[in-house]
Structure formats: structure tokens, C-alpha cells
Amino acid sequence: MEPNIIAVINQKGGVGKTTSVINLASALSILGQNNLIIDLDPQGNATTGVGISNNDEEKNIYKLLIKKIDLENVIQKTRIENLDIVSSHVDLSGLEVETANDNNRAFILKEILKNSTTKKYDNVFIDCPPSLSLLTIMALVSSKELLVPLQTEFFALEGITQLVKTIDRIKKNLNPTLSIRGIVLTMFDKRNKLCSQVDFEARNYFKEKVYNTVIPRNVRLSEAPSHGEPCVVYDKNCSGSKSYFELAKEFQSQNNKIGSAA
């Protein structure tokens, strides 16, 4: 069975994108699914957030893309059972220049994933950089679905209209089967009326695409990466972790519906 290949994307930074990648993937792994994270962001926060060094000179996403080697050669196991990662590296920031003469560079990652043994994974999560770069386009071309973390603030709604236009262009020109799997509302503060307003507007526009689970503002979610652990491992009983476990269950129920429809 082919894995769900999911790009986690938002062109706006600071919306909880990487936090969502590592905690959702970790929660799903704890619940028994096999997951792979591909850290396609040169900052490498998803890598360090699961306790892996982003300075490994051989096992990293840059080596994979520049040498077009087999995926198995760069996968690393994390300390969390059922969770593997392809780590980031700072050299990734130069990939766009280095591949300037490759007319098919947007499809490099897609070809590698197509020819690899990813079937052992239930889900492959691609953590994208917070910009519309070659790396983001590679992720959009390679993925079947998109997961969009949306911070519950006014400017986030403005940014998502740009993202929808980008997705439409990619669908038209490069990946016609791409679809939005879900919108995750993040950094929600129930004391803030604006958060509730953004929640309402997002659900009014995206309908059932918005997950019922909302991720709250939570200091533990911010602390956990400094300890090299996802929050669902660092403090599984805090409100942030509980929300990501609920999101994981909602995510799994989507898979069950897709499976029964097939």
C-alpha cells in the first residue's frame, strides 16, 4: 500500500508548521502507525526537534537531492518508535542555484520517492520552508495532499488566500491530483475574541477541511524543541500534547473514511 505523502505548508512563518509536523507524526507513531518526516526546510528545526543533528554530512536531504541517491541511504531512526526522519542540512539553502541547469529539478524528489521503498510507512510528512521556493515546489509536486497549519490571527487569513492561489497554479501546471487534506488551527487563545473570529472565518471558507481539533497556545509546545523532543513525548499531559493526540485520531479517522470509500 502506498503511503500518504503530505506536504505541511504555509508561506507565512511562525504559524506552528514544524511544531505540527513533529507532534502529529510523533503522536501517530505512538498510536502505532509508521511515519517518515522529510525535513525540507534549511533551518532544520524538524530535525533538531526530534533529537537528530542537522550537521550530519552524509545522511541528509541535501545529499539525497543533489546526488539523487536511494532514500534508504539517508533515513535515520529517531528515539520514538515507528518514527524515522530524513534530516535537513544548511547546504540545502543553495540547492536552487546548484540545480539551475536541471529542467526537471522540480520533479527530483518525486522521482526519488516513487522509486524508493516508502511502502513500509503509513505517512510521509514533508516539512516545507516558510516561502515559495524551489524546495516548496518540490514538496508540492511530490505530495498527494497538503496539511496547512493556520495561526488564529488576522494576517494568517490574508496569507492563506495567497497559498490557495499557489496551490491552484501547481495543480494546473505540475500536479493535477494535489488536494488540501486539512487546515489545522494553531496558537488558539480562547480569551482572545480575534482567535474565535478567525476560527469562524476559516470554517466558513474551508468548511469540513478545517479539523475539529484546535491547537492552543501552550508554553510546553515552545519548550520541548530545546530538549530535542516533540511535546507529545516531553510532556504528554499538557494541553498542547493532548490536542495533537486528538488531531492524530482525527487524522486517522480520515484515513479510515478514505479506505472504506476505496
- Per-residue pLDDT tens digits for 45-99: 999 999 999 888 889 999 999 988 889 999 999 999 999 999 999 999 899 899 9
Q: Global pTM?
A: 0.94
Domain locations along the chain: 4-261
The percent of residues above 90 in pLDDT, for the chain, comes to 69
Say if residue 261's pLDDT is above 50: no
pLDDT at position 256:
66
pLDDT, one tens digit per residue, over 85-138 is 999 999 998 998 999 888 899 999 999 998 877 889 999 999 999 888 899 999
Report d(CA 12, CA 132) in Å as an integer.
10
Residue written as cell 507565512? Answer: 12
pLDDT at position 258:
54
Say if residue 262's pLDDT is above 60: no
pLDDT at position 127:
96
pLDDT, one tens digit per residue, over 137-196 is 999 999 999 999 999 887 777 777 888 888 999 999 999 999 999 999 999 988 888 899
pLDDT at position 100:
87
Closest CA to 123 of 41, 21, 225, 42: 21
Is the domain spanning 4-261 CATH 3.30.420.40? The answer is: no
Q: Which of the pair, 132 or 251, is modelled with greater confidence?
A: 251
